[in-house]
């Protein structure tokens, strides 16, 4: 969905032609999986970070276009809301000091962007949901000016045929309606990309699904929306609801949502692409000129543009990716479950935990997905989003277990072994995984720090909720720049 879209209205003929092209692409993809040289010799990794822009008063700054022009760096792009940007790190190997290189480059890029943003009276905040956002900020007029966002909005709202309901019940409750997808812009995430070979893709995707709940519990950083404390990772519920194309009747019939955990373990990446084509009508039926069959028969590498575009409008929490780099096709797992922030080093600790744990479980002698039901994995995911570090998850061999105990006693050693398999330097492995360990021991991640700081401001400083949230965001932004991990941040 990173491509530009200029077409605003689609005819019946557009949709029929697009459906035909998508199925043609799917057939070609099946042939490629059987007999094609995918690039998988040295698996690359990638990171995408969605950013918030705030002004000096900690209010969202609707200035991404002018700030992006000032940054003038192709690694930065617009995102859905005018207060959002996205940073795409250069892909790289994580062997040796790969994580340290990520850290240096990300900090340098963010520092330069912050300097440019300051010219527009703005600064960058890395957080899952900006706590000072209100319903008045998340309206259609504040979508980014790129036409693709307007078209996507029209297609999702048009498919639903009525306002989108937001109903999130947590520590406090929120129930409201929106006439656009603008609330989705509140969801700023951290996305990991892991290149894998075709014959091992299913193992890595299944492993990623199995640990999604653990990731969310450890990395939760989105407790507030519209001034209310909801879930530890409210972003999960908000994203699921803000892009839901189904009215209540289709939900009752069991029609699948476009933000989807899935419903089964897989045996091939083809399972996921085929499900996307079978279950989801196109949102953006835009056809390319390429005939993928002709390209394949001529010995070329098909772009499969329609299949890739369709895949980009089905928002799986672990998404399959087909891409081409330097003329060679490759496959990636795109892990989309985590929020941005709180610091660069916190995000890289999350990355090390994910990459290591996914590899450790994917290459285990007895697959975790042969012991854990898929429904249990999904229940873990939502339980973790609700309760964060206080979540109790179901895990094979131990039953129901506090997530912190599970991580400390079982999963951290597996993650360490997985990072060894990638060739990560032991010092880097231990430095980053120790941050995950300390979050579990102190009981503090981004969500906990945010809620404790707001609580302290309300009770000890006599602030109302709105003032406490603004105070907290100001303090968060200061501490974020220290790059000290969030479990060490003072609550004051």
Mean pLDDT of 383-404: 98
- The SS3 call for residue 347 is helix
**pLDDT attached to residue 1:** 42
What are the C-alpha distances in Å from 424 to residues 44, 97, 100, 435, 485? 13, 7, 10, 16, 20
**pLDDT attached to residue 2:** 45
pLDDT tens-digit readout, 230-241: 999 999 999 999
pLDDT tens-digit readout, 414-466: 999 999 999 999 999 999 999 999 999 999 999 999 999 999 999 999 999 99
Closest CA relative to residue 306, chosen from 21, 15, 10, 20? 21
> Is this model's pTM higher than 0.85 or not?
yes
Please count the CA atoms within 13 angstroms of the CA of 305 that sit on its side-chain side.
13
**pLDDT attached to residue 35:** 84
Q: In which residue are the tokens 């196109």 written? A: 282
Query: Encoding tokens for residue 42?
Result: 């040295």
Residues belonging to the chain: 492
Task: Identify the DSSP state of 73.
Answer: -
Angle at 159 between CA 167 and CA 287, to 5 degrees: 135
Using the predicted structure, report yes or no on whether residue 413 has a pLDDT greater than 60: yes
Task: Identify the DSSP state of 180.
Answer: S
Kindly tell me the sign of the dihedral angle through the C-alpha atoms of 121, 126, 132, 138. Answer: positive
**Burial, 393: exposed, middle or buried (Cβ in 10 Å; 0-12, 13-18, 19+)?**
buried
User: Alpha helix (H) ranges present in 329-373?
Assistant: 344-362
Range 202-224 burial, b when 16+ CB lie within 10 A, else e = bbbbbbbbbbbbbbbbbbbbbbb
pLDDT tens-digit readout, 157-210: 988 889 999 999 999 999 999 999 999 999 999 999 999 999 999 999 999 999
Query: Encoding tokens for residue 121?
Result: 């009276």
Q: In which residue are the tokens 């045929």 written? A: 161
- Beta strands 189-196; 224-225: pairing state: unpaired
CB 113 within 8 A of CB 85: yes
Q: How far is CA 117 from the centre of its chain?
A: 24
CB 348 within 8 A of CB 219: no
Interhelix angle 344-362/201-219, rounded to 10 degrees, is 140
pLDDT band, very low/low/confident/very high, at 8 (cuts 50, 70, 90) = low
Q: How far is CA 313 from the centre of its chain?
A: 14
Strand ranges in 69-118 using DSSP code E only, listed in sequence order = 76-78, 84-88
| Phi, then psi, of 98 in degrees rounded to 5 | -55, -40
CB 39 within 8 A of CB 330: yes
Give the rounded percent of residues in the chain with a pLDDT score beyond 70: 98
* Average pLDDT along the chain: 95
């Amino acid at each position: 969905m990173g491509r530009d879209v200029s077409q605003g209205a689609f005819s019946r003929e557009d949709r029929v032609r697009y459906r035909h092209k998508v199925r043609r692409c799917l057939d070609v993809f099946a042939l490629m999986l059987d007999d094609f040289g995918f690039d998988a010799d040295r698996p690359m990794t990638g990171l995408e970070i969605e950013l918030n822009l705030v002004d000096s008063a900690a209010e969202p700054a609707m200035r991404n276009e002018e700030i992006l022009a000032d940054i003038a760096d192709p690694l930065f792009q617009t995102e859905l809301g005018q207060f959002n940007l996205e940073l795409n790190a250069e892909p790289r190997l994580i062997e040796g000091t790969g994580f340290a290189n990520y850290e240096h480059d990300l900090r340098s890029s963010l520092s330069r962007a912050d300097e440019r943003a300051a010219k527009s009276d703005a600064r960058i905040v890395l957080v899952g949901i900006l706590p000072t956002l209100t319903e008045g900020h998340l309206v259609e007029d504040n979508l980014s000016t790129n036409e693709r966002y307007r078209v996507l909005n029209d297609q999702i709202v048009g498919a639903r045929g009525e306002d989108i309901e937001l109903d999130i019940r947590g520590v406090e409750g929120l129930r409201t309606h929106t006439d656009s997808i603008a609330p989705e812009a509140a969801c700023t995430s951290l996305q990991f990309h892991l290149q894998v070979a075709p014959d091992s893709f299913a193992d890595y995707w299944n492993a990623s699904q199995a640990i999604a709940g653990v990731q969310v519990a450890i990395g939760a950083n989105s407790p507030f929306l519209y001034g209310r404390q909801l879930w530890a990772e409210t972003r999960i519920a908000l994203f699921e609801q803000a892009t839901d194309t189904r009215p209540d009747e289709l939900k009752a019939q069991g029609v699948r949502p476009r933000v989807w955990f899935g419903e089964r373990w897989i045996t091939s990446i083809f399972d996921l692409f085929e499900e996307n084509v079978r279950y989801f009508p196109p949102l953006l039926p835009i056809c390319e000129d390429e005939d993928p069959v002709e390209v394949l028969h001529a010995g070329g590498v098909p772009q499969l543009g329609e299949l890739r575009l369709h895949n980009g409008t089905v928002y799986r929490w672990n998404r399959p990716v087909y891409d081409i780099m330097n003329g060679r096709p490759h496959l990636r797992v795109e892990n989309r479950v985590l929020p941005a922030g709180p610091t660069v080093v916190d995000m890289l600790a999350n990355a090390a935990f994910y990459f290591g744990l996914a590899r450790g479980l994917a290459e285990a002698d007895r697959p975790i997905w042969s012991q854990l039901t898929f429904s249990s994995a999904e229940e873990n995911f939502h339980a973790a989003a609700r309760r964060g570090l206080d979540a109790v998850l179901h895990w094979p061999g131990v039953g129901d277990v506090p997530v912190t105990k599970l991580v400390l006693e079982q999963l951290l050693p597996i993650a360490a072994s997985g990072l060894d398999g990638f060739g990560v330097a032991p010092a880097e492995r231990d430095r980053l995984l120790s941050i995950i360990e300390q979050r579990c021991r102190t009981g503090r991640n981004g969500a906990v720090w945010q809620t404790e700081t707001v609580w302290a401001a309300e009770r000890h400083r006599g602030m109302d909720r709105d003032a406490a949230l603004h105070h907290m965001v100001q303090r968060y932004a200061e501490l974020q720049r220290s790059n000290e991990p969030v479990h060490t941040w003072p609550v004051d």
